[in-house]
Amino acid sequence: MAPSTDMSRFHQTLHKSKHIICVAGAGLSAASGVPTFRGAGGLWRSYNALDLATPQSFAKDPSRVWQFYHMRREKACSCPPNPAQMALAKLFVPDLLSTLSPGATFTLITQNVDGLSLRALRDLTANPQLECPPNLIEMHGRLFDTICTACGEERENLDSPIAPALAGTEGIVEAQEDEPDIPLELLPRCGQCGGLLRPGVVWFGEVPKRLEEIDVLAKEADLCLVVGTSAIVYPAAGIADTVRQEGGKVAVFNLEGTPADKRANFRFLGPCEETLPKALF
């Protein structure tokens, strides 16, 4: 059966739901100015962004991959949270969540690494120091974390630029300059052991974070919002399948059709920064 586009029926489902989860992708951050991976935004310089998001690319050309992540870190810092992120942030506030469904739980499982969902929550609560709550799961890691390739230390790093040699490399195309080949010793290095750092994100072939918890949440969810994701990268794309298999409902918010539609009870086509605030608050 084709998914419903009836907002008032969606509201009835929302108000009955006790365990709500949201699986988010790059489309959630698009209105903030963060490029998506697939489609028009997926090219960086002449490279496909997805080709750079692999351990093999980093092993082959850490200078190029660090320039890509440096650009993404600088971009993410300068982009403000958008109305879709603000609407989801409200679901973290117990008094606001209970206006939708008394006693309900909410978990945001985001594939995004840009930190904008936490920034939205910090803005909403006017608390810039707020720690990431346990019900915000960043399953593909964080742009602002690093992992030492030698000693394995994983830590937050908010330096801008993350290494002096990366400063300005985000502007080389506009400046019509060639891509620099930054020597290994000038790339970000570990403060403990001096080893080469890598971005603290989950690349293809690596295991996403908190998968056991996510599986439990998907099995107990009675409503799953699937927001701004092409729904082709697993295991994230399988979360909505699990929800449906266990009897929960799925509502998709996207600009266009995706494979998630085949699991959807509801589908709201359009920019999520418009559809999601209408659907939630």
User: Which residues, 6 or more positions from 185, have their beta carbon under 8 angstroms from its beta carbon?
Assistant: none
Residue 151 contacts Zn ion per CB under 5 A? yes
Give the residues across from 252 on adjacent strands. 226, 267
- What CA–CA distance (Å, rounded) separates 24 from 110? 5
240: left (phi over 0), alpha (psi -120 to 50) or beta: alpha
Q: Lay out the site mask for ligand BJW across 100-139 (x = CB under 6 A, - = otherwise).
A: -----------x-x--------------------------
Closer Cβ to Zn ion, 110 or 146, answer by number = 146
Residue 17 buriedness (CB in 10 A; 0-12 / 13-18 / 19+): buried
Residue 200 contacts ligand BJW per CB under 6 A? no
Stretch that binds ligand BJW, among 157-165, 177-185, 216-224, 269-277 (CB under 6 A): 269-277
Residue 77 contacts ligand BJW per CB under 6 A? no
Shortest distance, CB of residue 176 to ligand BJW, whole angstroms? 26
Q: Could you say which of 178, 205, 212, 247 contacts ligand BJW (CB under 6 A)? A: 205
Residue 62 contacts ligand BJW per CB under 6 A? no
Closer Cβ to Zn ion, 195 or 235, answer by number = 195
Q: Is 140 an active-site residue? A: yes
Q: Could you say which of 206, 246, 259, 281 contacts ligand BJW (CB under 6 A)? A: 206
Neighbours of 257 (CB within 10 A): 11
Closer Cβ to ligand BJW, 97 or 214, answer by number = 214
Shortest distance, CB of residue 223 to Zn ion, whole angstroms? 43
User: Which residues, 6 or more positions from 182, have their beta carbon under 8 angstroms from its beta carbon?
Assistant: 63, 66, 67, 165, 166, 169
Shortest distance, CB of residue 184 to ligand BJW, whole angstroms? 21
Q: Lay out the site mask for ligand BJW across 208-247 (x = CB under 6 A, - = otherwise).
A: x--x----------------xxx-xxxx------------
Shortest distance, CB of residue 210 to ligand BJW, whole angstroms? 11
Q: Which residues are annotated as a binding site for NAD(+)?
A: 25-44, 111-114, 228-230, 254-256, 272
Q: Which residues are annotated as a binding site for substrate?
A: 69, 72
